[in-house]
Amino acid sequence: MTRSETAWNEESVLSPRRRLSSLRMAAAGGALLAIGVAYSGTLAELWGVWMHNPNYSHGFLIPPVTIWLLWRQRHRLRREAGEPTWWGTLLLGPAVLLQVAAMRGDVVMLQGLSLVGVLLGAGWQIFGHRSFRTIAFPVLFLLFMVPALPWFMDVVGFRLKLLAAQGAVGIAQGIGVAVEREGVNLLFPEGTLAVENACSGLRSMIALLALGALFAYFSRGVLWRRILLFAIALPIAVAANVLRIATLCVYAGVAGVSQAAGLFHDVGGYALFLLAFLMLAAGKKVLRC
């Protein structure tokens, strides 16, 4: 058999695969367009949350990260993609019903969960079982853009403020700073600092959990180490916030309350996230993953 005949035979085998891949990508594009239209109201609601809720100001970054994660896996998706399967309806059906209930109740969190469920189910149905494992994490990563229920955030935020105030005052008093605590208020001889909602550490906790998920996803360790790496993002965020407020207490004891409530307080927010990031990176190294 000549080289040209061999090439022609290979091309004839690959052509159906290429056509199937093209049809599958066209189906995926059509599904995304349909989902975008159907969930346009939900997307507008989420945009409003990202714009006006500081705890979810990172939400703008989540969809581009998901798109990038899927783009990285595009060649693997082409290799692994199998026959379309109706198993995706196991997610699509409940997700659509959830959207109907969420819209009637005007619950943004449930609408966001429905959107993620529909995307995951559509991907499963179009690309098949093997590819489901490839797309699962990138799509589930979108959960970090979905806001929790307001009452839940209020309860968690208050608990975090109280914990931060208790821990910070304990550290500051141990160093010798003259400070007392009354609820979430820090009492100094010359004035009072209040641990406001922005100082609860909730914002950095949510963002750090998303970062921890990415750390775990790109790690090469065994599964339990990667899960643990993601889980320690929570105590790291709490510890970093306690250290930040303790530092604020020390500075207030030295330079005064008015000075501590100014630029030092604002810069501390960025320092907090940097500290938490370094602690997470150190945790990754300790876990060897």
pLDDT digits (tens, 9 = 90+) for 196-232: 877 788 888 888 899 999 999 998 878 899 999 999 9
Same domain, 275 and 243: yes
Count up the domains in the chain and report the number.
2
Same domain, 93 and 218: no
pLDDT score at 191: 83
User: Is the pLDDT reported for residue 22 higher than 90?
Assistant: no
Q: What is the mean pLDDT of the chain?
A: 84
User: Is the pLDDT reported for residue 132 higher than 70?
Assistant: yes
- pTM exceeding 0.75: yes
Which of 78, 109, 143 is at the close of a domain? Answer: 143
Same domain, 92 and 115: yes
Same domain, 40 and 135: yes
User: Is the pLDDT reported for residue 137 higher than 70?
Assistant: yes
- Classify residue 12 as left (phi > 0), alpha (psi -120 to 50) or beta: alpha
pLDDT score at 82: 66
Which of 94, 115, 143 is at the close of a domain? Answer: 143
From CA 14, how far away is CA 101, in angstroms rounded? 46
Same domain, 193 and 77: no
User: Is the pLDDT reported for residue 9 higher than 70?
Assistant: no
Pinpoint the alpha helices (H) of the chain. 3-38, 40-52, 62-72, 74-80, 89-105, 108-127, 129-140, 150-175, 202-218, 223-231, 233-255, 257-260, 263-287
pLDDT score at 16: 55
Lowest mean pLDDT among 41-45, 52-56, 77-81, 164-168: 77-81
Summarize the confidence of residues 41-67 as an average pLDDT.
93
**Cβ contacts of residue 270 below 8 Å, gap of 6+?**
none
User: Is the pLDDT reported for residue 8 higher than 80?
Assistant: no
pLDDT score at 6: 47
Same domain, 203 and 273: yes
Chain segment 231-279, per-residue pLDDT in tens: 999 999 899 889 888 888 888 888 777 777 766 666 767 777 788 888 8
Same domain, 159 and 233: yes
- The DSSP H or E segment spanning 286 is helix 263-287
Same domain, 112 and 157: no
Which of 79, 114, 143 is at the close of a domain? Answer: 143
pLDDT score at 263: 65
Same domain, 160 and 250: yes
User: Is the pLDDT reported for residue 12 higher than 60?
Assistant: no
Q: Are 206 and 56 in contact (CB under 8 A)?
A: yes
Same domain, 120 and 24: yes
Chain segment 84-120, per-residue pLDDT in tens: 777 888 888 999 999 999 999 889 999 999 999 999 9
Which has the higher per-residue pLDDT, 142 or 254? 142
Encoding tokens for residue 129?
């079982």
pLDDT score at 175: 87
pLDDT score at 187: 86
Same domain, 129 and 222: no
Residue-number span of the structural domain to which 186 is assigned? 151-287
pLDDT band at residue 67 using 50, 70 and 90 as cut-offs: very high
Same domain, 130 and 10: yes
pLDDT score at 110: 94
Q: What share of the chain in percent tops pLDDT 90?
A: 32
